[in-house]
Amino acid sequence: MNFTYILPGKIIFGCGSLEQVSNELKGLGGQKTLIVTSNGMMSRAGFIKLINILKDNGFSPAIFEKVKPEPSIDEADKFLDFARENKCDLVIGIGGGSVLDVAKKVAMDLGKPKLMLPTTAGTGSEVTHESVLKVNGEKRAFVDKELVPDIAIIDPDLMMTMPPKLTAISGIDALAHAIECYDCAKNNPLVKTLAFKAYNIIKNNLRKATAGDKEARINMALGSLMAGMAFGNSGTALCHALSYPLSNAGIPHGEAVAMMLPYALEFNGFDKDVISEVKRIILDVGLKLESSFKADIYKMAEIVAKDERHLSNNPREVTLKDIVSIYERWCK
């Protein structure tokens, strides 16, 4: 048995751990810090606290706040130009998965150290060597060991302001990470151990977290982290492949994953009790298994059939005919 495991140089977890940012940055060297975030993050208490911590410790932050959901490679290139103009020597990403993916790509292209601060419990991007960006309107994953953050700080306090729907869709994404990578072709003993634990943490806490329970939100931050550590070293499979055409058409990633997850699990022959449990969780947190989405399912299926990265990792061989059949059942 042989495998390689890639993780950040340091992972810090816990409420209040944002306070450790300045000390960790000093260890990375540099003073001119690029902060990559979204416009909505600018007024939040956690972001304001981060800025104050940096300024109080002699750092000069340049802020790029224009990351939008499902960002494109062209947008990332604009952020890269901004970073070069400001002569930044450190990169901080603070936000959801889209923000972190952009921040990691920019830092890699600059060749600069990077620290990630997730504000959602779902994507696991803070610990993966992957960045998902749209290229010519279609989602594409960039995978490179140079994308892995130097430091990931997971402070659940930053996630307490997530509205119920964002909590739900982020949590279902994390649930899918855990359950898909547990049985995927590229798993290994570490992946399976982390994925199993993450799945149980998430299934036991997502409903309560969506309802606003603080302890459950802390647990979801941990479950998402563990799922990210798992799938980041194995990849995901059929569910994520099926979700990409939906996201390309404007359905938020977590919602697309929620719709496709039961179908992928059924196709792969998962235990019926597990599938029923997953469906109940999706519905209990206010998400849907169906959609009024109208599209050419054959065109979508052709896109999925070309997704060798996900399909080759699926525990069961998938044909174009299989994909069409899944979409036909979903669209009924």
Instruction: Look at the pTM and tell me if it is higher than 0.85.
Output: yes
CA contacts within 13 A on the Cβ side of 293: 25
CB 155 within 8 A of CB 18: yes
- Listed residues 122, 140, 159: the one ending a domain: 159
The CATH number linked to 126 is 3.40.50.1970
CA contacts within 13 A on the Cβ side of 51: 15
Exposed (0-12), middle (13-18) or buried (19+): which is 45, by Cβ within 10 Å? exposed
- Listed residues 106, 130, 159: the one ending a domain: 159
Tokens of 105: 């790509």
Q: Cα-Cα-Cα-Cα dihedral of 281, 287, 291, 295, to 10°?
A: -90
- Is 136 in the same domain as 179? no
* pLDDT score recorded for residue 175: 97
Exposed (0-12), middle (13-18) or buried (19+): which is 245, by Cβ within 10 Å? buried
Domain count, the chain: 2
* pLDDT score recorded for residue 187: 95
- Taking the C-alpha atoms of residue 254 and residue 261, their distance in angstroms, rounded to an integer, is 10
- Is 45 in the same domain as 172? no
3 lies in a domain? no
- Is 50 in the same domain as 148? yes
DSSP letter for 211, please.
T
Q: Show pLDDT as tens, one digit a residue, over the chain (332 residues).
A: 788 999 999 999 999 999 999 999 999 988 899 999 999 999 999 999 999 999 999 998 999 998 998 899 998 998 889 999 999 999 999 999 999 999 999 999 999 999 999 999 999 999 999 999 999 988 888 999 999 999 999 999 999 999 999 999 999 999 999 999 999 999 999 999 999 999 999 999 999 999 999 999 999 999 999 999 999 999 999 999 999 999 988 888 999 999 999 999 999 999 999 999 999 999 999 998 887 777 789 999 999 999 999 999 999 999 999 999 999 988 87
- Listed residues 159, 188, 206: the one ending a domain: 159
Range of the domain at 46: 10-159
- Is 177 in the same domain as 154? no
